[in-house]
Amino acid sequence: MLASITGNTKILGVIADPVSQAKTPAMANTLLDERGGLGDFVMLPMQVSAEDFPAFITGLRALKNFGGAVVSMPHKIATANLVDELTSEARLVGAVNVIRRNGDGRLIGTMLDGEGFISGLVAAGNRVKGAHILLVGAGGAAAAIAFALAKYGCASLCIQNRTPDRASALSERVRHAYPHLEVTTAIQATSHYDIAINCTSLGMKPDDELPISKSLIGCCDLIADCVIAPEMTKLLQEAVNQGKAIQTGVPMLAAQMSLMLAFMGAE
């Protein structure tokens, strides 16, 4: 494998802070290897702080053998304001999770988190159409998933966030795009959800609090987590303890990996 990396190899990246937990490089390079593309492309982890991120993005325009990158926390929203062009999906969501560099150095951004999450849910035999859904989070991934849930016909969507104003702002944007969808930020005493989704970073650290309370977990049929590592978060373990169905964050990433590579030109 190492012999296939040459001076002609195009560099792909996964940009995050932290990045040590990322499964994307291993998954992407394995897929490239299976397809005979490893050597033409290779994906590397790139740890960049929020403070240094704008300068880093500027540098990518000058790196002629840079093909593209997966963008992860905490950079998804910032990226939308730093690239040269956005796809319609990224414009709607206001965030980016994949960029590619064109030959002229221009950076193009798209958002695939929503499609990836829905594909992962459906592949596991779950139904979005007609479902009542609780979404926790209001960042880039949460926005992408919120719009995708609306697009694929959920019956209602309740958005919660530690900062209520952000939940309200996202709710308003989804309601504007899908005026017939019931979108709220209020949980009623009688609320019941077919699916609850954690789109926050809570769960990445051992001492993180639960993003969804134990009592609220009891009001949900399926608990899904967008956290990739650890794969079995405290939230998911609590859901298992309560006898709930679960979905880890890995299916979302796996479902969009081919889409990501294709967008970066590494088909």
Quote the crossing angle between the two packed helices 164-177 and 140-151, to the nearest 10°: 30
Catalytic residue among 10, 23, 64, 76: 76
Task: Determine the pLDDT at residue 133.
Answer: 98
Task: Show the domain range for 214.
Answer: 114-252
- Tell me how far the alpha carbon of residue 129 is from its chain's centroid: 20
Spatial distance between the Cα atoms of 131 and 252, rounded to a whole number of angstroms: 18
Task: Determine the pLDDT at residue 45.
Answer: 98
pTM of the model: 0.89
Tokens of residue 178, six digits:
């899908």
> Does the pLDDT value for residue 53 go beyond 70?
yes
DSSP string, 170-200: HHHHHHHHSTTSEEES---TT--EEEEEE-S
How many domains, in total, are found in the chain? 2
Over residues 145-162, the pLDDT tens digits come to 999 999 999 999 999 999
> Does the pLDDT value for residue 124 go beyond 80?
yes
> Does the pLDDT value for residue 163 go beyond 80?
yes
Is the distance from CB of 257 to CB of 263 less than 8 angstroms? no
> Does the pLDDT value for residue 38 go beyond 90?
yes
Quote the crossing angle between the two packed helices 250-263 and 24-34, to the nearest 10°: 60
Same domain flag for 79 and 159: no
- Domain-embedded: residue 259: no
Spatial distance between the Cα atoms of 261 and 265, rounded to a whole number of angstroms: 6
Average pLDDT over residues 36-63: 97
Same domain flag for 232 and 127: yes
> Does the pLDDT value for residue 267 go beyond 80?
no
Domain finish residue from 111, 134, 161? 111
Q: Is 214 a catalytic residue?
A: no
Domain finish residue from 87, 111, 135? 111
Domain finish residue from 86, 111, 136? 111
Is the distance from CB of 108 to CB of 84 less than 8 angstroms? yes
Tokens of residue 264, six digits:
């970066």
Task: Determine the pLDDT at residue 2.
Answer: 59
Over residues 13-33, the pLDDT tens digits come to 999 999 998 999 999 999 999
Spatial distance between the Cα atoms of 251 and 22, rounded to a whole number of angstroms: 14
Task: Determine the pLDDT at residue 4.
Answer: 85
How many CB atoms are located within 10 Å of the residue 231 CB?
12
Same domain flag for 130 and 104: no
CATH number at residue 230: 3.40.50.720
CA nearest neighbour of 93 among 168, 180, 182, 177 = 177
Task: Determine the pLDDT at residue 3.
Answer: 61
CA nearest neighbour of 182 among 118, 121, 122, 130 = 130
Spatial distance between the Cα atoms of 107 and 62, rounded to a whole number of angstroms: 11
The H or E element that residue 58 is part of is helix 53-62
Same domain flag for 187 and 213: yes
Report the percent of the chain where pLDDT is more than 90.
93
3-state secondary structure of 167: helix
CATH number at residue 72: 3.40.50.10860
How many CB atoms are located within 10 Å of the residue 180 CB?
6
Supply angle C-alpha 143, 147, 152, rounded to 5.
145
